[in-house]
Chains A and B, each alone.
Chain A
Amino acid sequence: MTLDWSIVWEYREDLLHGVLLTIALTVITMIVAIPGGIILAMMRLSRSRILSTISLCFVELFRNLPLILVVYWAFYVMPIVLGIQIAAFETGLIALCLNVSAYNGETFRAGINSIREGQVNAGLALGMSRWQVMREIVIPQATRRVLPVLASTWVSLFKDTSLVSVIAVGELAHVALQIRSQTFRVMEMLTAMAVIYWLLGYPQAKLVDWIHSKFKVAE
């Protein structure tokens, strides 16, 4: 088998464009999914039965579905049901946001619940309002526990953006697979794709390990 690695350099601009879209998808999804997760957690912990049930259903649904199916669903079903045309990029983005918001919702809920009830009661007994207790006592501590989990979710999200390639969003996986089918340089392109993902993902995975060790909670 003869290998011709120059093909990777030849298509560098396309690949770079794919990398940028992958990063854009990751960043935008997280920007949407953090407030989304906070809202879901607030709904879940609110005293309203209806809000907490809605949040529970949303979170359980999207945590128990393969992301790739959600991508297909968003692509085929959503435009018909909502009656609007949505570009592939936005469709992929919506699917990712639904998925990651559900995970973040669960992360924030667990973070808030991890603060012992006694601390809240103590705050209330001192005459603080519920909101003050949240802001002064619960959130600062919960943040330290939530941050490592969010970091792990970030890396998963970065990897999961490859799945929106099935609806022809031109991110790294889609670009590389396209070049592979145009040039028949299968080995070179697929290996290059794996290496590029590794170069991007490995530092992130290591950073996550560092965050985990830095924010380790010792009670």
Chain B
Amino acid sequence: MRPCVTAQDRATERDQRGCLLEFDFSPVVDSWRYLLDGVGISLMLSVWTMLGSLALGAAVGLGRVYGSAWLRVPLVFYIDTMRSIPVLVVLVWIYFAMPLLTGLNLSPFWSAAVALSLHIAAYVAEIIRAGIQSVREGQTRAGLALGMSTAQVVRVIVLPQALVRMLPAFGSIVSVTIKDTAIASVIAVPELLRRSETLAGQSFRPIEVFTAAMLIYFLLLVPATRLIDLLYRRVAHLGRS
């Protein structure tokens, strides 16, 4: 039960609000280097996650399409598992539980890179599968009929078209990756969100600090997705068949 609020309470509250609503962005300005380093770590984590998830996702996606039946079962299980558990759960499991199991201690940064890669690779694999399957079967058969090997068909005919068609989906993967790196703050990776929390706590200026963080993330994410859209518009004709 909330206690009754008297008119006086409201007045004091309004006074307090009056004080707090005088914005003071000086903590953000004074600590710009601290926050900028956080942005750098967020971006580094995004780059390593992109590389990791592209490599793993490509292997899983290609294995799912071209692999033998017994290989497909565990791959599909892996993809569906990652689609059904939260990335936070993967992250804390890799960081807290995996060292107990393997004796291998990873720093928060690399734990986050591994966990995010494992998670996002499942989505990359699905995109690659959809891209490959969007190239009509007849083209593969035509290639095989001309005496090309499966590897040649994939490399010369299917992938060049499929990759172009996958571009918009990869754009959203880039955006998802940058957004998901913020979750690494939970295991104390000193990236932008973690540093914003620290700064907000130290300066007692949560409004200014978190609003600044919002602005920075927005300014990072919008160009990232726009650039990929632009690139796609330039090369979209290459994917038509």
- B80: interface (CB < 8 Å): yes
Give A204's nearest chain B residue, CB to CB.
Answer: B84
Main DSSP-derived SS at the B contact region: helix
Asked if A68 meets B183 with Cβ closer than 8 Å, knowing A186-B96, A194-B85, the reply is yes
Cβ-Cβ contact count across A and B, 8 Å cutoff? 121
- B17: interface (CB < 8 Å): yes
Pick from B100, B193, B218, B225: contact of A68, CB under 8 Å: B193
Expressed in whole angstroms, the minimum distance between the Cβ of B120 and any Cβ of chain A is 13
Interface string of A131-148 (1 = CB under 8 A from B): 000000000000000000
Expressed in whole angstroms, the minimum distance between the Cβ of B213 and any Cβ of chain A is 6
- B106: interface (CB < 8 Å): no
Give B205's nearest chain A residue, CB to CB.
Answer: A76
Q: Are A65's CB and B218's CB within 8 A?
A: yes
- B44: interface (CB < 8 Å): no
Give A68's nearest chain B residue, CB to CB.
Answer: B182
- B214: interface (CB < 8 Å): yes
Interface string of B185-201 (1 = CB under 8 A from A): 11000000100110010
Instruction: Tell me which residues across on chain A come within 8 A of B180, comparing CB atoms.
Output: 66
Pick from B21, B90, B97: contact of A187, CB under 8 Å: B97
Pick from A73, A162, A187: contact of B88, CB under 8 Å: A162
**Chain B interface residues (CB < 8 Å from chain A):** 2, 13-14, 17, 20-21, 80-81, 83-90, 92-93, 96-97, 100-101, 175, 178-183, 185-186, 193, 196-197, 200, 206-207, 210-211, 213-214, 217-218, 221-222, 225
Given contacts A72-B210, A159-B84, 19 further A-B contacts (CB under 8 A): A61-B218, A64-B222, A65-B179, A65-B218, A66-B178, A66-B182, A67-B179, A72-B197, A76-B210, A77-B211, A80-B17, A80-B21, A177-B92, A186-B96, A187-B100, A187-B101, A193-B89, A197-B89, A202-B80
The 9 closest A-B pairs by CB, nearest first: A201-B84, A66-B182, A76-B206, A162-B86, A159-B86, A66-B179, A64-B221, A202-B84, A197-B85
